[in-house]
Structure 1
Amino acid sequence: MMEKKYIKMGRHWIVVLATLLTFVACHSTSQKQNSNDAVTLKDAFKGKFYIGTALNARQIMGIDSQAIRVVKKQFNSIVAENCMKSGLIHPKENKFNFTLADKFVEFGEKNHMFIVGHTLIWHSQAPRWFFVDDQGNDVSRDVLIARMKKHISTVVGRYKGRVKGWDVVNEAVLDDGSLRKSKFYQIIGPDFIKLAFEFAHEADPNAELYYNDYSMANPQKREGVIRMVKVLQSEGVRIDGIGMQGHIGLTHPDIDEFEKSLEAFAGLGVKINISELDISVLPNPHFHTGANVSDNFKYEKELNPYTEALPDSVSKAFNQRYLDFFKLFLKHQDVTERVTLWGVNDGQSWKNNWPVRGRTDYPLLFDRNNQPKPVVKEIIDAAMNNPKAD
C-alpha cells in the first residue's frame, strides 16, 4: 500500500512540474510576442538598413497629423515624393520655390532621419522652359547644360550637408536596355547623365549620389543599367548607389529575376536602395508592368474589383508577397542601404490613380486609417529573427 501511495505522489508531482513548465514556456513566449508587438519597423531593421517612406505635401505641411505619427514612429528615412521635382521646385528660369522642400528637410532633421532628395534630372515633371528659348524652339546643347548645372548646383547646394543622398538621374534607361530619347538626350546627348552626376558632386562632395529606375528586374534593362554605370565608373564619375524602384504586383516581377538584378548591381560596387516600394493588388490593364507616369488606361469596372475591401485570399497573397520581398532584402542586407515605401498609407498612394484613374488599391503597409496591416508584424518578426550582417 505504501509503495502505491508513493507512486501516486510521484505522478502528482510530475503533473505539477509539467504544468509549471508549460506555464513558464507559455509566459515566456507571450512576453516575447508582446515585446515584438511593441517593436517598430525602424527598431526591427536597426543595424540592417534604413526603412523609409515618401512624404506628400499634406504631411510635410503637418496637416495630415495621423500619417505624421506613423512616420515618426515607424520610419528613420524620408524621401520627397514630389516637392523636389524640377517642375515644382524650379517652375521658371530664374525662380525657385523652396517652401515645401525646406519644410521637408527641416522635418527630417528634427526627427533625426536619413533624408533623400528626389529627383534632380528626370524627363517627366520637368518644366517646359528648361528645353526651349523665348520663341519656343529647342535651346542649344550649351544652354541646356548651363540650365541643368544651375538647377543642380542651386538645389543641391541649398541643402549641402543636410540631404544625405540624391536621386541624381531618374528613369533614363528603357526596358530594352537602351537610353531613353528624352529632351536631355536629344539636346545634350548621352553624356547628360555624366554631367548631372558631376554637377551634383561639385555641389555637395559628401552627399551620396544615386541612379533610380523602375522595372529593374527586367533582364534587358538590367544589362542596360550595368552598361551605363560601368561607363560612368570608367570615366571617374562618382555614383554611390542604384535605386531599384519596387513597384511590384502580386505576380510580377519574378522575385528570382529581382534578386539577380540586385546581385548584379551590387557587383558593381555600389549600394542598393529599394527606392519606391509598393505592391498593387489590382489587375494589370493589358498586362502593363512598367512605371512610366505618362502611361494611362481607360477606367473599366473589372479593373477595380475591390472597392470596399480585399477578399481574404487576396490579403493572404499580398501579405506573403511583402514578406517574401522583405526576406530577400534581409538576405542581402550587407549591400542594401535603404528600403523606402512609396507613401505612408493606402489612401495616399499614387497607385489609386495610376495607370487607371479612380481605382481603389491597397499597396502599402498601413491601411487607410493608418493602422498597420498584419504583415507588418510578420516583417518585424522576420527582421528580429535575422542576424545582423557582418
Structure 2
Amino acid sequence: MNQQRRLFLRSAFTAAGIGLVLGSASPKRLLAEALAGQSGASAPGLGALFGGDFKVGTALSNNTLQAQNPGLEALVAREFSAITAENAMKWEEVHPQADVWDWQRADHFVDFGQRHKMYTIGHTLVWHSQMPESVFVDGHGRLRKRSDIEQTMESHIAALAGRYRGKIQAWDVVNEAVTDDGQWRKSHWYNTLGENYFSRAFHLAREVDPNAELLYNDYNMTIPAKRDFALEQIVKFRKQGMPVHGVGMQAHVHLSEPAIAKIEASIEAIAAAGLDVHITELDVDVLPQAYDYMGAEISTNFAYSEKLNPFPEKLPEKIVDELAARYESLFKLFLKHRDKVRRVTLWGTTDAESWKNDWPVVGRTNYPLIFDRDGEPKKAYYAVAGLKVAAKSS
C-alpha cells in the first residue's frame, strides 16, 4: 500500500471514529475489520453496506456475458445487489431480425440475477437507438405502415418481457424519448406513432408482466427544461391510467459537472411528482470534455487527439483524489435522499469494460468507475464504502 493510500484510509477511518493500525494489512481487510469489528471477518460489499438505504448495482457488458467471466462475476456477486444488462437486451442485440432472436446473453444475465437473488433490471424495451432499421423501413426503403410498426412494438415487448416474466424486477420501458431542450425526440417511434407510443409501451409492459416496476430512463435529467417536460408527460399519461413507478436519472457525470445542487434539484422534482428515483448508468468521466459535449447520445463522435487523451497509462494522483471526492459527494447526496432513491447503478464494474474508453472519442483511455482494470477497488471505492463506516460508528 502506498503512503498516500495509507494517509487516505487513516484519515477516513479516523474521521469515522475508528482507530486502525495501517501496517501491512490490505485495504479490504481494514474495511472488513472496521465494519465487522473483528479481525478476519469478510468485508461486506457495497450492496450489503447500503442495503438499508437503497440498492447498489452495476451493468454487465456483452463481453462479460459472452465470456461468462467467473472472476468478474464473483466480484459483481460480492459487491452489488442489483444488475442491469448493458447491451444484451437492446433490440439489435436480442432481436436483430424480424424472425430472429438471440437469447444466449440475456438468458445468462437473468440466470445470474436469479442465482444470486439480485434486483434485476431489463434494459430496454423501446429506444430509438441500437435497433434494426428494418423495424421502420422495408426492403425497398419505404417507411412501413403505422399499424405494422405498432404491431412490431407489441410483439417485441410481448416476447422479451414475457420470456422473463417474474424474473425481472424492473424494466426500463422507454429510454431517452425527450431532447435536452424539452421536446419529444423526433425518432421513428414518435414520427410514426406520435406521442402515444410512450404510454402504449408502458401499458404493454404491464399487460405482459404485472409485477415488474416500470421506469422511464434518460440522460441529462438535471437540465430543467428536459426534466420538467419529461415529468409533465409522465404525469399526464399517468392520470390517463399509464402504469409507471419511477424515473431513471442516467448519471454520466464529470468530475465537477453537473453540480451537486442540480442533481439534488432533479431528485426532489422527480420525487415530488410521486415517482421513485433510480440513479442509473453512473460513471464519472475524468478526461477533458470533447467540445463541451455533456450528453449520452451514442451516435456522437469526435476526432481523437492527444489533448483529449491525457492519461493513456494511468491517472495522476491528483485526479485519483478528485475522482474519490466526486464519488463521495454523490453518494452523500444519495444517502441524504435515501427516502427517495430506490437504486444507484454504476454503468460497468471495472474501468476495462467501461464504454467511456472509446466514447465520444475513439481511442481514449478512461477511468470512470470504482474498480480498476484488474478488478481492484480504487480510492473512490473506499471513499464510498467509508461513508457507511462513518455512519456505523457514529
Structures share fold, TM-score greater than 0.5: yes
Stretches of structure 1 that go unaligned for 5 or more consecutive residues are 1-26
Partner of 2:266: 261
- Is 2:182 aligned against 1:180? no
Q: Does 1:377 align with 2:382?
A: yes
Q: Name whichever of 241-250 and 55-64 sits farther off.
A: 55-64
Distance 2:180 2:391 in 1: 34
- Out of 6, 10, 29, the residue aligned to residue 19 of structure 2 is 29
- Aligned-pair CA distance for 1:222: 1.2
**Distance in 1, Cα, partners of 2:308 & 2:198:** 37
Do the aligned residues in 2 keep the contact of 1:62 with 1:68 (CA within 8 Å)?
no
Q: Deviations over 1:189-234 (max 9, x none)?
A: 1111011101101000111100000011111111111111111112
Q: Post-superposition shift, 1:47?
A: 1.6
Specify the code of the residue in structure 2 equivalent to 1:339.
Answer: V
Report matched runs for 1:212-251 at 5 Å. Answer: 212-251=217-256
1:234-282 CA distance string (max 9 Å, x none): 2110111100001000121121111101100011111111110000100
1:1-390 alignment runs, 5 A limit: 29-30=19-20, 34-36=33-35, 38-386=43-391
Distance 1:312 1:144, change over 3 A: same
SS at match of 2:214: strand
For 1:280 and 1:70, how far apart are their aligned partners in 2?
A: 22
Aligned length: 361
Q: Distance in 2 between matches of 1:28 and 1:262?
A: 32
CA drift at 1:384:
4.0
* 8 Å Cα contact 1:217-1:254 kept in structure 2: no
Q: How many Å apart are 1:59 and its aligned residue?
A: 2.0
Aligned equivalents of 1:332 and 1:257: distance in 2? Answer: 14
Instruction: Give the SS at the match of 2:291.
Output: helix
Determine what percentage of the aligned residue pairs are the same residue.
42
Deviation at 1:36, TM superposition (A): 2.9
Shift in Å, 1:313:
1.4
The answer to whether the Cα contact below 8 Å between 1:122 and 1:170 also exists between their aligned partners in 2 is: yes
Distance, in Å, in 2 between the alignment partners of 1:386 and 1:171 is 36
Whether the 8 Å contact between 2:88 and 2:106 is mirrored in structure 1 is: yes
Q: CA deviation at 1:155?
A: 0.4
Q: Distance in 1 between matches of 2:115 and 2:214?
A: 23
Question: Does the CA-based 8 Å contact 2:301-2:361 persist in structure 1?
Answer: yes
The residue number in structure 2 matching 1:22 is none
The one-letter code matched in structure 1 to 2:159 is T
Cα distance change, pair 365–28 in 1 and its aligned pair in 2 (3 A): closer
2-structure distance, mates of 1:293, 1:62? 24
| Other structure's SS at 1:245 match | strand
| Counterpart code for 1:138 | L
User: In structure 2, how many angstroms separate the alpha carbons of the residues matched to 1:204 and 1:368?
Assistant: 37
Q: What secondary structure sits across from 2:130 in the alignment?
A: coil
1:354: Cα distance to partner? Answer: 0.5
**TM-score between both structures, scaled by the size of structure 2:** 0.89
Q: Is the 8 A contact 1:36 1:381 kept in 2?
A: no
Structure 1 residues 15-65: Cα deviation after superposition (integer angstroms, max 9, x where no partner): xxxxxxxxxxxx973398523382321121012111110001232245423
Instruction: Confirm or deny: 8 A CA contact 2:327 2:383 kept in the other structure.
Output: no
Where in structure 2 are there 5+ consecutive unaligned residues?
1-16, 22-29, 37-42
Which residue type is aligned with residue 58 of structure 1?
N
- 1:380: how far off? 1.4
CA RMSD between the two structures: 1.6
**CA offset at residue 314 of structure 1?**
1.2
Output the amino acid matched with 2:298.
V
Return the alpha-carbon distance in structure 2 between the equivalents of residues 168 and 57 of structure 1.
Answer: 20
Kindly state the Cα deviation for residue 311 of structure 1 after the two structures are TM-superposed. 1.4
Moved more, 236-245 or 310-319: 310-319
